[in-house]
Amino acid sequence: MTKGTTNGVTKAQIKQFRTVLEAKAEEIQTSLGSSKAAKALDRGEDPPALEDLPVQSHEEWIFLNRNNIDVMLLREIEEALVRVDDGGYGICPECNDPISIKRLQAVPWALYCVTCQEELSEEPQERRRRERSYSY
Ligand SMILES: [Zn+2]
């Protein structure tokens, strides 16, 4: 039984995205290798804060943080794969509209549609973009 509407993407396309997502997840896991960041991810922990580490670990901290970006991306991909299984993939949880196929092709792990993503990433005080009362 299909639940939810997938106006944006067809089942065949979702299957393709699943393959892309799984490949990307594997790629990241490989690049993380046996790094501490990957182990931290396995434990569901975040890498340690800089101030918690002895000075000689500074380089390691930089390494961890670089990997941290990959770890975050990996989490997003894993969440996207969960949505594939749930049938919620390709639907924006904010506005319940289907996410455009173009966006999914560019960012297969996108959670929100472009509009909601932009609104969420904006600083609250910057939301009043419509008020363009000032002119140069
Ligand atoms: Zn949306």
What's the 62 CA to ligand 1 centre distance in angstroms?
35
Q: What is the pTM of this model?
A: 0.65
On the CB side of 87, CA atoms within 13 Å amount to 7
| pLDDT at residue 36 in the model | 55
Please tell me the distance from the alpha carbon of residue 52 to that of residue 49, in angstroms, as a whole number. 5
Domain ranges of the chain: 11-130
The number of CA neighbours under 13 Å toward the Cβ of 110 is 23
11-130, what's its fold? Four Helix Bundle (Hemerythrin (Met), subunit A) (1.20.120)
Q: Residue 64, exposed/middle/buried by CB under 10 A (0-12, 13-18, 19+)?
A: buried
d(CA 98, ligand 1 centre) in Å: 8
Work out the mean pLDDT of the chain and round it to a whole number. Answer: 80
**Distance from residue 136's CA to the centre of ligand 1 (Å):** 33
CB 30 within 8 A of CB 19: no
pLDDT tens, 11-56? 999 999 999 999 999 999 988 875 555 555 555 666 666 666 665 5
Residue pair 38/29 in contact (Cβ under 8 Å)? The answer is yes
Q: How many Å lie between the centroid of ligand 1 and the Cα of residue 121?
A: 13
